[in-house]
Amino acid sequence: MQRALQKCGASCLYIDRLFSTLNTHDGKFEGRNPPRDGQNQNNLKRLEQNDDYMSEAILNACAKNDVRPGLTFKHSAQRNQELEKRKSEKDFENRLRNPKRGRLEAERREEGLEKPIGEENKGFTLLQKMGYKPGTSIGKSSSSGRTEPVPVVLKTDRQGLGREAALREVEKRKIKIKANRLDKLSDYRSQLSSKFSSKAALKDLRLSQITCENLDLKNSIESPPYPWFWREKIKENAEDIETEEKDLEEEEKEEEEEEQLEPEEQLEMLTLYLRRTYFYCIWRVNHKSIRAMTESKMLQFSPFESSVDCTFWHKLNQIKLDEDMLEEKERTIWGTFAHNESSSRFSIDYSAFNEIPQFSQNKQPMRGVLVNFNTIESFKDCDKMEIIKKHGKDLETSWNEEIDPNIALGKFILICFADLKKYHFYYWLAFIAPKGPPALITKDPVPISNILSGEQIALLHYLTQKSGQHFTVKLNDDDSLEILPFDMYGQLCSTGSRVFLGFLDPGYLPDTPGWPLRTLLKVASFRWPELLEKANKIGVICLRLSSSDQEKIAARNSVYLEVQLSKEAEIETQWVGWERNERSKFGPRVANLSKTMDPGRLAECAVDLNLKLMKWRLLPQIDLEVIKNCSCLLLGAGTLGCAVARVLMGWGVRKISFVDCGNVSYSNPVRQSLFLHKHCLGAGALKAKAAAESLLEIFPGVDAQGIQLDIPMPGHSITESQHEEVKKTVQRLEELISSHEAIFLLTDSRESRWLPTMLGKNHNKLVINAALGFDSFLVMRHGVLQASADPPKDSSPSTPSKQKTIDGHNLGCYFCNDVVAPRNSMLQRSLDQQCTVVRPGVSQIAAALAAELLVSVLQHPLRGDAPASFDQEQSAADSGSPLGLLPHSVRGYLAQFQIILPATRSFPQCAACSSLILNEYKDKGFDFLLQVFNSPGFLEDLTGLSELQKNSEEAEIWALTDSEGEME
């Protein structure tokens, strides 16, 4: 019974609470021994005097604080119940906050549950009256009685009491959400107005932060009352830089920050601080007093707004792939700035990499440094403050040298990471400027027309055309102007002349000069420190040129102001200048060019990407331009032709021509990768044209064409009426071979390769041949002519050489190992002999080897005349090609998964490439070809193969005769 009460859950706790309510202190039982008879009678009397635990009095007492339906209900009871509920929740939270107290309560609870219910419990006594005995169940004498409580089963498919109220609450929330949506739609205009107001408040907040920081530093206040009273600082640790760029990969997760004040609230607090402390307001400027305001206020500068043109990223992409590769070296680049009436625009385009900058009077150059990192991690982890400090020192050192008036005194830094695969460019610009004591404005900026007449302004424009970006303006007693070099300013000041500092100002605000003035004033104090000692006021002419009025001075925008420099402490110069991103925070920007680039240009760059990456580590000496500019003629657009074309495109070959006379059949697309089911419909598309169209669909930048041509073959007789047509075909084929650098023989018969072999040798072209068997293949390159223009004369059979290579002009062709001239092999063939019946993988292997053989030959300095090795153990370094060995032929046997590399010399009596054949074609031309086409034995008679066959037969007869004689 003890375990049953413990497992009963809420019901047992409720019963136990009733039992504890009914306990009496006078009738406690001590231990488990039953009381004596007298004690039993006294106890029973006391029990009878108390109310029964099922009586109405007990239930009414329990219902006072219970507001469940069906019991006595009062509003006051409900409120008390809610208060008790809140109190219990608070107590529970307190117990969670105080683990010691919660642990003690848990220990006491466990201790109470482990002890059995004592006999002193009044409820236990009542159960004993009903016949309960410890260890048994009530009302059952057998051991099969229930000793466990009835489990509680929740009915989720029924709605109990209080369910309707919950549904009404859900419905109310839905109605409220819908009303909020309607309010948002109706308040769209107010939302836009609020958005613009927030932007204006953020702009005023930035200005107030700058002012607060300057005023606090001037009054020796090292830290602001709140961190956001001053501008956000660039932290030296890269992990603390808040980039907040959506496109940055592997961005570090930041911890959730506490709720911050809105910009409007921050602006209100900061404005109140400035008014109370410095009598300063950004809308009504007051500093300490109205009189002090009119006498001096701090000089502020309008920062540059960078604009990097997409042409710059295209040029950087090219330089990274072709020149820099894995180097992270610094490059000198150029940027330009000009006056604009809406922004201080600083532009960087493709001309940034020129050695000499391009500039005009309204396009002023500034020198910069580019650092392109290899990984996004190195871009993020680099020490930004150390970078700007390093180049700031270099800039300060250059001030001791002669200053070029045409180049800005400042300098900019561009650090970036180029994701060349996705065409995402992550970059951050810094316009280096010294950070020092603020300069004070002793005379508010006024239009230049207030101090100079119209004639003087025109003269100033004329004289500044050759003066450069910074200069000295001297005003003579006769009101004439002189434009002098910037270096003469200190000397003229010491003589008491009326002089001004002048510079071409990119600023656009009427009372704020541009960023270059910050560096200009620093250089002036660096070169002429006596100006600070005498506390001289410097007059500055901010010359702003208008690009819309033929580069004339815009008098309404150019301003004049007077400043007084503050004396600096003898400390190391600090440097600032990192640009804020679009969110007005210190962090990089992202240029996504994948959506703006021309799809054709994008595909072309992507094709070359993997090839150029080979040069970074694996093959730095490979010449990709030779492969790209190689024009290839593929004779045959079948299984081999399609596969070879795909591999050539992978190597970047841009010009591919197909020659074929067949149509696409339904059996082709599964084996020939350039054809689809649509090419089989009807009579079938022309193979050559369909293959060329497929290449253009794969890569629009390829120059692919398909030519329908039926190649004439030896042994295939030609009637007299076909002479003109065949002659045009031969001329067309010869034109194609002469206009291409590499020729691939990929036809499906032996005799169809004869004419291209002869023409290729005659025009000294690199010919690659690929032939298939059922489970074997042959890939070979034909020999070329010698360096002389004339075909080589017949030579005597060469003797075996001790060298393990054969020169390229001595290599044999496809027919050099045959003693039988090609004939019509299509006669009397069954269906399995007419179709190319091979294992499907053989054609892919042979096609890949053919294309790779061409690429390897093109990388050799001798090209087609490169020697072939028949020693498979020769090292790649000895071959002369960066891609490895240059075999003459590759024979593969798929049944044994074996490849051998035989090399053979050219055969003087070859029916295709011997000098006899080439000279005969040169002498007779098409008439010679007619004899070859119509007379199967003509080639054998011309080259002496017939006599060779006859001699071999006689030798065999003599050998048999000798054997018979010996047998006798």
Active centre residues (catalytic) = 835
Ramachandran quadrant class, 507 (left: phi over 0; alpha: psi -120 to 50; beta: rest): beta
Query: Measured between alpha carbons, how far is 33 from 23 in angstroms, rounded to an integer?
Result: 18
User: Angle at the Cα of 397 (from 393 to 399), degrees rounded to 5?
Assistant: 120
What's the Rg (C-alpha) of the chain? 49
- According to DSSP H, which parts of 540-681 are helical? 599-614, 624-628, 639-650
**Residue 531 and residue 563 in contact, taking contact as beta carbons nearer than 8 Å:** no
In degrees and rounded to multiples of 5, residue 51 shows phi and psi of: -70, 150
- Give the list of residues 6+ apart from residue 445 with CB closer than 8 angstroms, or none: 510, 511, 512, 513, 542, 559, 560, 561
**In the sheet where 703-708 sits, what is the strand order?**
703-708, 655-660, 631-635, 742-745, 766-772, 776-781, 889-893, 898-900
3-state secondary structure labels for all residues of 18-40: HHHHHCCCCCCCCCCCCCCHHHH
What letter represents residue 318's amino acid?
Q
**Residue 636 and residue 843 in contact, taking contact as beta carbons nearer than 8 Å:** no
| Three-class DSSP category at 275 | helix
H or E segment to which residue 49 belongs: helix 37-49
**Residue 527 and residue 401 in contact, taking contact as beta carbons nearer than 8 Å:** no
Sign of CA dihedral 827, 832, 835, 841: negative
Which residues are bridge partners to 365 per DSSP? 336
**Residue 317 and residue 276 in contact, taking contact as beta carbons nearer than 8 Å:** no
**What are the angstrom distances between the C-alpha of 148 and each of 3, 151, 655?**
8, 9, 88
- Give the list of residues 6+ apart from residue 162 with CB closer than 8 angstroms, or none: 69
- According to DSSP H, which parts of 794-890 are helical? 831-834, 840-858, 876-879
- Give the list of residues 6+ apart from residue 797 with CB closer than 8 angstroms, or none: 908
Chain centre distance of CA 318: 16
**Residue 798 and residue 724 in contact, taking contact as beta carbons nearer than 8 Å:** no
